[in-house]
Amino acid sequence: MNYDVVIIGAGFAGCTCAQILAENGKQILIIEKRGHIGGNAYDCLDEHGIIIHPYGPHIFHTNSERIFRYLSRFTNWVAYEHRVLSFVEKKYLPIPINRTTINRLYDLNLTESEVAEYLDRIRISKEKILNSEDLVLNSVGNDLCEKFFRGYTRKQWGLDLSQLSAGVAARIPTRTNDDDRYFTDKFQYMPQNGYTKMFENMLSSPNIEIALNTDFENVGAEHKGATLIYTGAIDTFYDYRHGKLPYRSLQFKHEHFANTSQYQPAATINYPNDFKFTRTTEFKQITGQKHPGTSVVSEFPCDNGDPYYPIPNASNEALYKRYEQLAKDERNTIFVGRLAQYRYYNMDQVVGAAISAIEH
């Protein structure tokens, strides 16, 4: 079979490219090293019949109507707004930090404008925000930084806040009102029948063939002449020519509690200062599934293992730029996605990046 396009990876990036190109009449082969489609957003039933996300909790949110409409062709949605509590000083407190967080942590009863004044008093004003430490200190000052951010960040990344780009901590806003949602995007939904079903619908064209359990490294020389779309780690593609790009990995501990209908007081609990895991997530609270038991995942960050997170800081960005330069010089290969572009993308941003990668 002669393919027009060979796509490496069946995650959001690969599936979006495949769907659009197949619709335009191209013959596509997707090569995926795992035994399933969907990349890290894959979901499935666990052995107890509970819908889980084996690679950690995935909540869809976007401000882009275009991306939301595009994905809506392949799934119906269920409205879902994520809420997270952070376990600090033996209390479960809303994160992002809001009025409730401040009042409950310090035993105060401040109004919204008083919280704004309070934050203004305790923040450590920075002229330049050079990294995540500057960003957090500039917003909430030292005590809240230590209690909510420094330990969590050290665990998650193996680095201090000061060693990470400001964009990392900037994902978490600070609020003076009572809004306790994790995200404020215009569109916040879960796919009604799960992500995997949505990916199956995206890949349903007869123009798309999928080779699972197949590593590109073993088939690299085949399919000459086809355009290549690569969504794996960019340093691997170039055989680490400029050195290894750091990616952070996770180990997931999945547990089931047969006689517990609700395990924890919110869908996700963050543990900035206790335990080796960063957070625990109870899937039923996200999917709305009814079941007498419950399944929970804890995330243990580590250096080695599947690459899950690019690590945003200046030196890694400089190294990535050297790989990006190699990529720019390729004639018939497109690099797109969280690993290939070394960007801390959310799912919707990957869809956006994939759409624009094939439009250009």
The Cα 230–Cα 9 span in angstroms is: 7
Nearest-approach distance from CB 169 to ligand UDP, in angstroms: 5
What are the backbone dihedrals phi and psi of residue 45, each rounded to the nearest 5 degrees, phi first?
Answer: -85, 140
Contact call for residue 14 and ligand FAD (CB under 6 A): yes
Binders in 289-348 for ligand UDP, by CB under 6 A: none
83, β-bridge pairs: 181
Contact call for residue 40 and ligand UDP (CB under 6 A): no
Binding mask 317-346 for ligand FAD (x = CB under 6 A): --------------------xxx-----xx
Q: Which range, of 11-19, 103-111, 166-174, 214-222, touches ligand UDP by CB under 6 A?
A: 166-174
167 near 345, Cβ under 8 Å?
Answer: no
CA–CA–CA angle 222, 226, 231 (5° rounding): 85
The Cα 297–Cα 104 span in angstroms is: 27
Contact call for residue 191 and ligand FAD (CB under 6 A): no
Binders in 27-66 for ligand FAD, by CB under 6 A: 31-34, 39-41, 55-59
86 binds, among ligand FAD, ligand UDP, none (CB under 5 to 8 A by kind): ligand UDP
217 binds, among ligand FAD, ligand UDP, none (CB under 5 to 8 A by kind): ligand FAD
* HSE, side-chain direction, 13 A CA sphere, residue 222: 14
Q: Which range, of 3-11, 14-22, 163-171, 259-267, touches ligand UDP by CB under 6 A?
A: 163-171
324 near 343, Cβ under 8 Å?
Answer: no
Give the tokens for residue 238.
């170039």
b/e 198-211 (16+ beta carbons within 10 angstroms → b):
bbebbbebebbbbe
Nearest-approach distance from CB 334 to ligand FAD, in angstroms: 13
Binding site for ligand UDP (CB under 6 A): 86, 95, 148-149, 152-153, 156, 168-169, 171-172, 270, 272
